């Protein structure tokens, strides 16, 4: 009898174990996301790319967090207090938080993060000037830090919610080294790093000890698919569950909407597109020529015919939801006669060549640039398009001042504040301003950064928008909606304007 009871007990145990295993697999879920670009490094101070943020928002936390509703809320700081006329901010830190490697989050890790950002390592990346108001970070105790500012920064709390301000683990970086950290990121976010294959993808898994609660997904995989048609085909086949902006070509929206298993989800976005001018060399050195090129292109027709109503024309390099946008500004109208008159006055001969540099994998903008080239042909110019691999254009061509007369610039404006765009685009010496130096403009850009009077600061930002438009530093094109292609198996997905997706609550059926 005893042996029979033992056998029954063993069988019962096996059945229970088996059912638990089945249950655990039934609850396990994986979301696969198509992203158009591999940022090349997962270190927060190495990048400005939206495609970095769409992944890394799940790996890292900042002191503050801005959700899909665009409202600022506590992150790794539970509260903050602005002191000394805005030149000191005291943060009370969340307790009991650990990095993915088990290292404790505390005031020392906050200080390390910003000392590193503002130090020699930060010099190598594009993020430091975004946080230039920070003079030092002082540890008050394990759970309290003071940010001492050179001057008040009215946008700093928002900046602390993203990119370079993401909190990193001191011991891990010091032990493993900077190069290792670039490809093996560790943060405190809801998902932890599992593996990374450059140019192919990155895999994350749920961090069940996250202070905000465990994610509902078990695995979160990103595939880097630069070709839009391939990304859409993978979505249709079910090998991808979500395609994030700016991948979906406008022309494929109808195809996706007709698929019973898929849907398109859109939301307003701060993302803007322009063709910026080489103001140092070639015919676009002449302001009169730059204005002629703007007059010569029917941007509204491009929006209507190519973008299917998913965009709005802009007068300055910002969207309507950007703080600093001036709604009274009007884009230069389409006036080909005016364009030809200005070109003649500038001594530009018919047939003069002009080169437009673009990101080769952006199918929609490829169509836009073809249309722009056609319009310029009609006013007598020989416009050619030079496509580049995205990372080459962004890292090698534009910053080095090696572009043609015009080059594609798309910008997320993720702080929803014109400073985040204007300072990087127009201030002398910035990475995205390889050609122009305007001391009067520099003074305006610098002056608004320390003004806490919201109305006064908005007035200066509007003035900057008008000033740069008058100088025709770019051909403003449009602000584009954030367009997501998604499988109907995906639930609880909320599109965000800035593509900084935190996928904690998403499930896959």
Write the CATH number for 207.
3.40.190.10
pLDDT for the residue numbered 353: 97
Pick the more confident residue, 249 or 341.
341
* 205 DSSP 8-state letter: E
Structural domain harbouring 462: 269-481
In 3D, which of 161, 200, 272, 218 has the Cα closest to residue 35?
200
User: Average pLDDT, stretch 123-127?
Assistant: 86
Virtual CA dihedral for 464, 466, 470, 473, nearest 10 degrees? Answer: 50
User: Average pLDDT, stretch 346-364?
Assistant: 94
pLDDT tier at 48, thresholds 50, 70, 90: confident
Beta strand 219-224 pairing with 406-411: unpaired
Reported as a single tens digit per residue, the pLDDT across 155-178 is 999 999 999 999 999 999 999 999
Q: Based on the domain organization, do 166 and 273 belong to the same domain?
A: no
Q: Based on the domain organization, do 225 and 294 belong to the same domain?
A: no
Instruction: Measure the CA–CA gap between 162 and 500, rounded to whole angstroms.
Output: 9
- pTM for this predicted structure: 0.78
Q: Based on the domain organization, do 97 and 58 belong to the same domain?
A: yes
Percent with pLDDT over 90 in the chain: 81
Q: Which H or E element spans position 361?
A: none
Contact 24, 210 (CB under 8 A): no
Beta strand 88-93 pairing with 77-83: antiparallel
Q: Based on the domain organization, do 183 and 332 belong to the same domain?
A: no
Q: CA of 460: how far to CAs of 361, 414, 494, in Å?
A: 36, 20, 34
pLDDT for the residue numbered 122: 86
Beta strand 353-359 pairing with 406-411: parallel
Reported as a single tens digit per residue, the pLDDT across 458-507 is 999 999 999 999 999 999 999 999 999 999 999 999 998 887 899 999 99
Q: Based on the domain organization, do 411 and 493 belong to the same domain?
A: no
C-alpha atoms less than 13 angstroms from C-alpha of 415 in its C-beta half-sphere: 27
Burial class (CB in 10 A: 0-12, 13-18, 19+), 17: exposed
Instruction: Measure the CA–CA gap between 296 and 79, rounded to whole angstroms.
Output: 52
pLDDT for the residue numbered 414: 84
In 3D, which of 357, 364, 381, 369 has the Cα closest to residue 296?
381
Mean pLDDT of the chain: 92
User: Average pLDDT, stretch 205-215?
Assistant: 97
What CATH number is associated with residue 369?
Answer: 3.10.105.10
- Residue 142 in any domain: the answer is yes
Percent with pLDDT over 70 in the chain: 94
Instruction: Measure the CA–CA gap between 202 and 444, rounded to whole angstroms.
Output: 41
pLDDT for the residue numbered 14: 40
Q: Based on the domain organization, do 70 and 213 belong to the same domain?
A: yes
- Residue 199 in any domain: the answer is yes
Contact 184, 177 (CB under 8 A): no
pLDDT for the residue numbered 28: 64
Contact 272, 316 (CB under 8 A): no
Q: Based on the domain organization, do 423 and 381 belong to the same domain?
A: yes
- Residue 10 in any domain: the answer is no
User: Average pLDDT, stretch 391-417?
Assistant: 94
Tracing tokens 């995989």 back to the chain, one arrives at: 221
Contact 242, 484 (CB under 8 A): yes
Q: Mind giving me the DSSP string for 302-353?
A: HHHHHSTTSEEE-SSSS-TTSBT--TT--PPPP-HHHHHHHHHHTTPPTT-E
pLDDT for the residue numbered 497: 86
Reported as a single tens digit per residue, the pLDDT across 215-273 is 999 999 999 999 989 999 999 999 999 999 888 888 899 999 999 999 999 998 999 99
């Amino acid at each position: 009898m005893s042996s029979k009871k033992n056998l029954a007990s063993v069988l019962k145990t096996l059945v229970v174990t088996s059912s638990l295993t089945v249950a655990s697999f039934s609850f396990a879920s994986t979301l696969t996301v198509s992203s158009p670009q591999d940022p090349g490094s997962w270190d927060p101070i190495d990048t400005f790319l939206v495609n970095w943020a769409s992944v890394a928002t799940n790996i890292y936390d900042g002191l503050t967090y801005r959700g899909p509703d665009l409202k600022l809320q506590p992150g790794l700081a539970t509260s903050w207090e602005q002191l000394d006329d805005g030149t000191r901010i005291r943060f009370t830190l969340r307790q009991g938080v650990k990095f993915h490697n088990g290292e404790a989050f505390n005031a020392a890790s906050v200080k390390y993060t910003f000392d590193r950002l503002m130090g020699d390592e930060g010099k190598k990346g594009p993020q430091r000037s975004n946080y230039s108001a920070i003079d030092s970070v002082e540890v008050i105790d394990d759970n309290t830090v003071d940010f001492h500012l050179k001057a008040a920064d009215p946008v700093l709390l928002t900046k602390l919610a993203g990119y370079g301000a993401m909190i990193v683990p001191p011991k891990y970086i010091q032990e493993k080294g900077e190069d290792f950290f670039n490809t093996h990121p560790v943060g405190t976010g809801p998902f932890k790093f599992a593996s990374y294959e450059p140019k192919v993808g990155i895999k994350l898994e749920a961090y069940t000890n996250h202070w905000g609660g465990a994610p509902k997904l078990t695995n979160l995989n990103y595939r880097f698919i630069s070709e839009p048609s391939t990304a859409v085909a993978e979505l249709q086949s079910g090998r991808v569950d979500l395609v994030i902006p700016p991948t979906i070509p406008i022309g494929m929206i109808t195809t996706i909407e007709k698929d019973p298993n898929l849907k398109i989800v859109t939301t307003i976005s701060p993302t803007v597109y322009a063709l910026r001018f080489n103001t140092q060399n070639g015919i676009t050195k002449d302001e009169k020529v730059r204005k002629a090129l703007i007059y010569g292109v029917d941007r509204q027709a491009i929006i209507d015919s190519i973008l299917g109503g998913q965009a709005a024309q802009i007068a300055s390099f910002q969207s309507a939801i950007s703080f600093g946008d001036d709604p009274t500004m009007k884009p230069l109208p389409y006036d080909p006669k005016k364009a030809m008159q200005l070109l003649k006055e500038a001594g530009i001969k018919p047939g003069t060549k002009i080169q437009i540099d673009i990101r080769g994998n952006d199918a929609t903008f490829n169509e836009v640039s073809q249309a722009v080239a056609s319009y310029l042909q009609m006013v007598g110019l020989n416009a050619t398009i030079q496509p580049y691999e995205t990372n080459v254009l962004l890292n090698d061509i534009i910053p080095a001042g090696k572009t043609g007369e015009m080059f594609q610039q798309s910008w997320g404006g993720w702080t929803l504040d014109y400073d985040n765009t204007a300072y990087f685009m127009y201030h002398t010496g910035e990475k995205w301003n390889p050609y122009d130096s305007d001391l009067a403009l520099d003074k305006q850009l610098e002056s608004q950064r320390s003004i806490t009077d919201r109305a006064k600061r908005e007035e200066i930002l509007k003035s900057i928008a008008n000033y740069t438009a008058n100088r025709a530093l770019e051909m403003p094109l449009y602000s584009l909606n954030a367009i997501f292609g998604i499988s109907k198996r995906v639930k609880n997905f909320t599109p965000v304007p800035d593509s900084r997706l935190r996928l904690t609550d998403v499930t896959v059926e």
